[in-house]
Amino acid sequence: MIFSFPTLMTQEMWELGSSMSHFRLALLLLLVLPLLMGLAYYMGFEDSFIDTGNLLHTFGSYGIGFVSAAIMLLLFAVIGPGMAVHEIVGRIALQAVPAAIGATLLHNDLGLWERHAEHAERKRQHAPYIGQVFLMVVGTIFLAISPASTIEMVLIAYQMTEWHALALIFTTLLVMHALVYAVQFRESAALSAATPFWSAFLRFTVVGYAIALLVSAYILWTFGRLENTAETESIKAVVVLGFPAALGAAAARLLL
Amino acid sequence: MHEEQPASEQPALPGQKPHQDIPTVGEWIIAAVGLVLVVSTIGFLLLQALRDNAAPPHITVVPESVDRTRNAYLVTIRIMNRGEATAASSKVEGELSNGAASVETSAVTIDYVPLRSQRRAGLYFQNDPRRFKLRLRPKGYRHP
């Protein structure tokens, strides 16, 4: 819950919960499942990706996400009697996504599975490349979902010229690469001082940024922010949201 | 350049760096896909930026349907921006007239109509729009 307060207290998230497409919300809830499973795996609960223990923890986190979101929304009077059922369900379900990711992370941070913690840390450090990419996806979603709900993402895009967007892309890549270096060098087995600049840049920074753009586009689509909007404005909005998303990808090893 | 493994930086870890340092074919494929995505995004924006797009918003409004609701008539409308700039707070007015006499007006403000995009809205009337002449027109907008 520590991680999901910004989203719980964002008005746009409540409104989206009420008004967004039910199909897209259902799709989001479904796609989060494999994400939570992977996260539970890398957070060290179990040694196998698909086994009873891992599934148990995955659904456990999801359950905690739903219950804690429901309790907090009740306390904030965001949901209550007199509201349509689909609205209440939508508001809780949308909040459950960041809450569930937060719940999985918190287990790890508080060392609730102390005996697993060291093992998990090693698993993450020696994760295969695809595992690193996966962690980048999680970091991206985690950092992007809250700003994505706000109208400011598209508003910023409307205010920007294409030159602003291009400058933002290069700034994002620059900051990302600095982060990739700072984080990966210290904590990961995948990069060493011998890795040439372009190799690290292509395999981590560019891939991370591509993930950030894809995830941003997906979330904006899920929230219906790209409806009937020209490609230029849509892509600018994706680039704007891509900024926090990209930082999430680059810093995934720090955040998670 | 020859480098030493700085063992002091990660005392808690067994130094297993070298074996993962050679990227596999799969890694390069993922990297290539990523590169294509990022470069095409940049390319698209660059193309757009180089086009001359100083044209202001150009708002047009068309009716989509007329429905009878419990205590009013609803005209759903589509607001299209064919211009090259986004219009904020664009106000749209609908007027029912009978010959030269105005019967009723109704208005709505749309938060944002991005360039080359469209938005939907609705106007309520007390009189049946099908019995009069309906005129829809944009009244103004704000620069975002």
Q: Are residues B72 and B133 in the same domain?
A: yes
* B5 in reach of chain A (CB within 8 A): yes
**B125 CA: distance to closest CA in chain A (Å):** 25
* B33 in reach of chain A (CB within 8 A): yes
Q: Are residues B70 and B120 in the same domain?
A: yes
B20 vs A190: CB contact, 8 Å cut-off? yes
Task: Kindly state the tokens that stand for A227.
Answer: 């409806």
Q: Are residues B18 and B68 in the same domain?
A: no
* B8 in reach of chain A (CB within 8 A): no
Task: Kindly state the tokens that stand for A120.
Answer: 């998990």
Is there a domain that residue B115 lies in? yes
Q: Are residues B22 and B87 in the same domain?
A: no
Give, in order, the Cα–Cα distances in Å from A2 to each of A67, A100, A107, A256: 14, 11, 12, 14
Distance, CA of A256 to CA of A97 (rounded, Å): 16
Q: Which helix (H) or strand (E) holds A118?
A: helix A114-125
pLDDT of B6 > 50? The answer is no
Q: What is Dmax (Cα atoms) for chain B?
A: 90
Give the chain B residue nearest A165 (alpha carbons): B45
Q: Are residues B130 and B66 in the same domain?
A: yes
For residue A233, give the nearest of B3, B19, B115 by CB distance. Answer: B115
Q: Are residues B45 and B64 in the same domain?
A: no
Q: Are residues B26 and B80 in the same domain?
A: no
Task: Give contacts of A214 with chain B, Cβ < 8 Å.
Answer: 37
Each residue of B56-66: b (16+ CB within 10 Å) or e?
A: ebebebeeeee
pLDDT of A142 > 60? The answer is yes
Q: Are residues B85 and B119 in the same domain?
A: yes
Is there a domain that residue B3 lies in? no
Is there a domain that residue B101 lies in? yes
Distance, CA of A122 to CA of A108 (rounded, Å): 13
Listed range (A46-55, B4-13, B31-40) with the worst mean pLDDT: B4-13
For residue B17, give the nearest of A169, A192, A235 by CB distance. Answer: A192
pTM (predicted TM-score): 0.79
Overall domain count for chain B:
2
B48 vs A232: CB contact, 8 Å cut-off? yes
| Per-residue confidence (pLDDT) for residue A190, from 0 to 100 | 56
Is there a domain that residue B6 lies in? no
| Per-residue confidence (pLDDT) for residue B75, from 0 to 100 | 95
Task: Give contacts of A177 with chain B, Cβ < 8 Å.
Answer: none
User: In which band, very low, low, confident or very high, does the pLDDT at A237 lie, cut at 50, 70 and 90?
Assistant: very high
* B44 in reach of chain A (CB within 8 A): yes
Q: How many other β-carbons are positioned within 10 Å of the β-carbon of residue A227? A: 14
For residue B117, give the nearest of A173, A189, A233 by CB distance. Answer: A233
Q: Are residues B105 and B130 in the same domain?
A: yes
Domain around B87: 59-142
Q: Are residues B96 and B36 in the same domain?
A: no
pLDDT of B39 > 80? The answer is yes
> Kindly report the CA angle at B114 between A24 and A9, in degrees rounded to 5?
50
**B90 CA: distance to closest CA in chain A (Å):** 14
pLDDT of A111 > 60? The answer is no
Q: Are residues B128 and B104 in the same domain?
A: yes
B119 vs A125: CB contact, 8 Å cut-off? no
Q: How many other β-carbons are positioned within 10 Å of the β-carbon of residue B12? A: 7
Q: What is the CATH number of the domain that holds B137?
A: 2.60.40.1620
Q: Are residues B70 and B109 in the same domain?
A: yes
Is there a domain that residue B22 lies in? yes
Is there a domain that residue B38 lies in? yes
